[in-house]
Amino acid sequence: MKKWIVGTAAALTLTAGVWAGVAWAQDNPGTGSETVAKPRKKPPADTTGTAGNTTGTDSDLPKIPSKLSPKATKGNEAESDASFKAETNIVNVDVQVLDNHGNPIPNIPRDKFRILEDNVPQTLTQYSIAEAPMTIAMVIEFSARYQAYYSSGWRETLTASYGFVQTLKPDDYVAIIAYDLRTTILSDFTNDRSKTMDAMQRLRIPGFSESNMFDALADTTDRMSRIEGRKAVLLIASGIDTFSKLTYDKARKALQEAGVPVYSIEMLQIERIMAEGRMGASQNLDFLQADNELKTFAKETGGQAYFPRFQGELPGVFQSISQSLRNQYSLGYSPNNQAKDGKFRKLTVQLVNPGTNEPLKMLDEKTGKPIKYTILAKAGYTAPRAVE
């Protein structure tokens, strides 16, 4: 009986010690014990407390709803509760103004420019005339049809290609792209002239006899449409397309959407003149159609088309292209029509007298006589589509 009484007393003492340890762990969390005790239930909040002496906690307050109902917010709208979404679509337009000799006209004030989008006047928000480096993609036709090894077309193409590279400034970026049956990027955009010349060295013996000009232009302008700054495509070609996947109309639409100016130098002019009596009607018609296509591409993208007959004309062509690109007016505006419908918007750039709203008249500084001028800009752009 004594042993039973002693054992029972020891068990009660051990149990009491265990519960005392649990209570101590609850009051002193994170101290020494590796066992996490369950928290005790919190006492109810003292509703008799004052603002400076409350015994309630955040968990005792009503839960904040994840979404307020219209009834809960009716009549409680405040300016601080409003949400704002700013999304501005800026249209950039590079403009050239040339006199009757093809020279750029500088220093035209901002207020003299007017841009019409679908015949609706727009408000200019950006204007600059500073000279900036160029980004040029040289797209060179190099096929066995007109650039056969050591032929006159081969020499003309290489002369024009190497000649234009020599006119570039150190800060200008250039890519070399050749095409026949397919488009080949010989060197990507770089201002390292050694890489450019290495790419030019690959223009030696042409491969296929096909000339897929439409595909090459569409692919190149699509890549360049995402490049910022002053950019252009220089096309050195015969203008003949033989095997492109794209038709002329589809290529034309692709160039309009890309909005990259296309400058073209058409080769084989002197050969065509010399062979005019021997060419058939269909072949002569093909070249005339090629000339019109190059002119259309240039006009609708804000570029220019050149048709040099002699090699001595090339330096003047290079200078004209360089001046046109380096002396552009960069204009920008936020269109009145903000609809994201993916439609083509027609652009018209004009020079006007802001006082009379009539076409601007320019006078020659030396003679004081009126001069004719030409405005070059892209024909339009494709509006963005709404993100679904």
Choose the most confident range, by mean pLDDT, from 28-42, 44-58, 239-253, 366-380.
239-253
Token couple for 356? 């009379």
Q: Which domain holds residue 237?
A: 134-326
Are 311 and 166 part of one and the same domain? yes
Q: What is the pLDDT of residue 36?
A: 39
Q: What is the pLDDT of residue 87?
A: 57
Question: pLDDT exceeding 70 applies to what percent of the chain?
Answer: 77
Are 354 and 215 part of one and the same domain? no
Computed over every residue of the chain, the mean pLDDT equals: 81
Are 163 and 249 part of one and the same domain? yes
230 within 8 A of 328, measured Cβ to Cβ: yes
- Higher per-residue pLDDT: 100 or 64: 100
Q: What is the pLDDT of residue 52?
A: 41
pLDDT band at 44 (very low <50, low <70, confident <90, very high): low
Q: What is the pLDDT of residue 186?
A: 97
Are 255 and 352 part of one and the same domain? no
Please check whether residue 7 lies inside any domain of the structure.
Answer: no
The average pLDDT across 341-347 equals: 93
Residue 89's region, left for phi above 0, alpha for psi from -120 to 50, else beta, is beta
Please check whether residue 84 lies inside any domain of the structure.
Answer: no
Are 279 and 193 part of one and the same domain? yes
Q: What is the pLDDT of residue 103?
A: 84
Please check whether residue 336 lies inside any domain of the structure.
Answer: yes
145 within 8 A of 183, measured Cβ to Cβ: no
Which pTM was predicted? 0.70
Question: pLDDT exceeding 90 applies to what percent of the chain?
Answer: 54
3 pLDDT exceeds 50? no
The average pLDDT across 353-375 equals: 89
Are 268 and 361 part of one and the same domain? no
32 pLDDT exceeds 50? no
Residues in the chain: 388
Are 287 and 187 part of one and the same domain? yes
Are 107 and 199 part of one and the same domain? no
Please check whether residue 51 lies inside any domain of the structure.
Answer: no
Are 315 and 364 part of one and the same domain? no
pLDDT in tens, 193-203: 999 999 999 99
pLDDT in tens, 6-17: 444 444 444 444
Alpha helices in the chain (DSSP H): 2-27, 70-73, 152-166, 193-200, 213-224, 248-258, 269-274, 281-301, 314-326
Q: What is the pLDDT of residue 272?
A: 83
The average pLDDT across 362-376 equals: 88
Are 319 and 353 part of one and the same domain? no
Q: What is the pLDDT of residue 118?
A: 96
Among 80, 264, 233, which Cα is nearest to 157's?
Answer: 264
Please check whether residue 283 lies inside any domain of the structure.
Answer: yes
Question: How many domains does the chain divide into?
Answer: 2
Are 222 and 359 part of one and the same domain? no
Burial tier of 163 (Cβ tally within 10 Å: 0-12, 13-18, 19+): middle
CATH assignment at residue 307: 3.40.50.410
Please check whether residue 17 lies inside any domain of the structure.
Answer: no
Please check whether residue 10 lies inside any domain of the structure.
Answer: no
Are 300 and 347 part of one and the same domain? no
Please check whether residue 57 lies inside any domain of the structure.
Answer: no
